[in-house]
Structures are given as C-alpha cells and as structure tokens.
Amino acid sequence: MAVITILGSGMMGSAMSYPARANGNEVRLVGSPLDGAIIEGLKKDDYHITLKRTLPKGVKYYYIDELSQALEGADLLISGVSSFGVDWFANEILPILPDSLPILGITKGMFDMEDGSLVPYPVYYKSLPQGKNKRFYAVGGPCTSYELADLDPTEVAFCGDDIETLRWLKGLFETDFYHISPSTDVIGVECAVAMKNAYALGVTLAVGLAQKREGVEGKQHYNSQAALFGESVREMRRLLKMTGGGDDNIVLGAGDLYVTVFGGRTRFIGTLLGRGLSFEAAMEQLKGVTLESIVISTRTARAVRRLIALGKAKAEDFPLLLHIDDIINGGAEVNIPWAAFETETIL
C-alpha cells in the first residue's frame, strides 16, 4: 500500500481514486484553488458534483490551503490540473515538493517551441529550474474519467525515464479494469495522446455538418466521420515521427482519438462548428466547459506552420490540422478539404 496525494479534484484526477483505492492505497484528494465547491460536496457525502459519481470509500479530502497536510508521508503525487493550470503548478507547487517524491501527470498536452518542436508537459517541467531534479511520469491512452469511474476496462500507458519506477506505479494502479503498459518513450506517448484533442475536434465537424443538413435528431452519417478519423490518424502519425516518438504509440493516439470523438467534451465544440456556428458563438455556448482541444489545436498548428516556414514540413501533409486552425484562429467557415486527403499508391 502507498499514500497517494492527488492535486486537482477535477474529473480525471478524482477518477484516478478508483484504481488507487481498489488496490488498497491511501488516497488524499486535494482541490485546486478552483475546486472549493467540489471538495465541499465530497466532504459531505463523497459525491462528486461534476463527475456525478460517488467516489470510493476511504478517500480523504483537502482544500488547497491544506496541501502541506495532504503531502505528509506521501509516496506519490498525481498532478491532475488542466492545461490551463500548468503554469500555476510549475510556479506554485513544484518548488514546495521534495525531489524524492515521484510526480505522475495525467494532463495531456504540449508546448510549441520557437523551433517548431512540440514538448509534452513532463519534459517542459523537467526543463525548469524548479523541476530539473524532480521525477516526472505521465499517463497516456484512451480513458475517459466517467468510464474509469464506472470501472469500464481500458488500456493506458505509464511513461517516464525509469522502468523500475514505472513497474512500481503499475503495481499501485493496475486492476481488472485499468490495464497499464510501462514505456520509457515519454515523447512518443505524451505527444500521441495530446494530438488527439486537436483531431477529435476535426472528426466531430462531420457530426455537426450532418446535423446542419438533417437536423439535430436526424440520421447519423459515419462515412464522413470515418474519413476524417482516418485522415487524423495519418496526420498524427506524421506528427509523431516529427517529434521523434516511436511509431507504435499511434495505437495510444488513435485509441484516445476514438474515445474523445464519442465521449469527450471536444465533441461539443466540433459539432457546433459543423452546424455553422462561428468559433466565438460556439465558445460562448460552451462557456464554463474546459476545452483542452482549443489549446492543443492552436499549439500544434502553430508548430507545424513554423516547420513549414523553415522548410521542415509540407502544408499538404497536414490539410485537416491547418483547416482546424483556420476555423478556430482565422475565422474560416467549415469547408472540409476532402480532395486534399486523397493519395495515390503504386506498389
């Protein structure tokens, strides 16, 4: 048994309490500065007001000003902050953590650098003065918070630079519903699963386009969704190669893309855009919903455009990504570039 402190009581951070408690670990869930209402509710009856599930018995709850108490004797810290809280975590939390405490990140995302490279959060944290001596690990793969809470089986990867620590982490969390593959390919795992946020928005444009033609309650059309899914995997594979990640990680990216298209918050924004709403109108309608896809789409497209300008990438290799960027950052209307997806293969 280990003492696991989870910082960030959002949906996925809280859902990690299910496999952790299933293995008998002590779990301490700490709300971020924005999670006061969640922790207040949990302290009353273990019911999570946004996950809409009752958390496992025995989880202990803390407000952010009780963090030092929640860290006493901890064997592992899970960072459950969203992409919007990465700088807060880096500046306010990393400096107070002991170097000996492993940190397992569940936030999927990347920063784009001036040279066009894409850097996942664990690598970014390690590059900071306050993070250079810390031990960072991360989770990637197809897993939605509410289905993890429902104990629906899934396969994920835990990545980091020390395989023995990864095996230890696997022992803490692996259950008959949460299966874990350790990997030392941090870039490959983290970039693969971060990219899917951008492309899930692209695939769900087809959902909105169908609703625009036939009404919200009209017939579903899967040809167009499947075509966009296939183009997404092709472009993600190219991006994965550019980052230097192992090709086999496309399995994690494609799986995560699938679950996000059908069960993630990104589906909402893509559908609204496909119906014909402007990006501003769609965002207003989803006010209050955390949309990692917008952050990741923007950063990924910005990196690709830099590489194109440097002659290290070709625009024709990323037609869907660039169209997504044009929609959310350039005010373009949805006009899927179908012909640009066509290829000619001669064996």
Sorted by where each begins, the domain ranges of the chain are: 3-184, 195-340
Residue 204 near residue 265, CB atoms below 8 Å: no
Residue 154 β-bridge partners: 178
pTM: 0.92
Range name among 22-31, 135-144, 209-218, 303-312 with the lowest pLDDT average: 209-218
Going 320 to 335 to 298 to 216, the CA torsion angle's sign is: negative
Residue 112 near residue 313, CB atoms below 8 Å: no
pLDDT (tens digit per residue) in 187-202:
999 999 999 989 999 9
pLDDT (tens digit per residue) in 168-178:
999 999 999 99
pLDDT on residue 117: 92
Strands 53-54 and 47-48, how do they pair?
antiparallel
Token pair of 203 as six digits: 């695939």
Main-chain dihedrals φ then ψ at residue 183, nearest 5 degrees? -150, 135
pLDDT on residue 65: 97
CATH topology of domain 195-340: N-(1-d-carboxylethyl)-l-norvaline Dehydrogenase; domain 2 (1.10.1040)
The H-assigned helical ranges of the chain are: 11-15, 17-22, 36-45, 67-71, 86-88, 121-127, 145-149, 163-173, 186-214, 222-243, 250-263, 266-275, 279-285, 292-309, 319-330
Give residue 150's identity as a one-letter amino acid code: D
Chain mean pLDDT for the chain:
95
Q: 57 vs 15, 28, 64, 178, CA distance in Å?
A: 13, 12, 21, 18
Q: 320 vs 276, 277, 339, 341, CA distance in Å?
A: 17, 19, 11, 8
Please enumerate in sequence order all residues whose Cβ is within 8 A of that of 53, keeping only pairs 6 or more positions apart, or say none: 15, 47, 146, 149, 150
Helix (H, G, I), strand (E, B) or coil at 3: strand
CATH topology of domain 3-184: Rossmann fold (3.40.50)
pLDDT on residue 264: 67
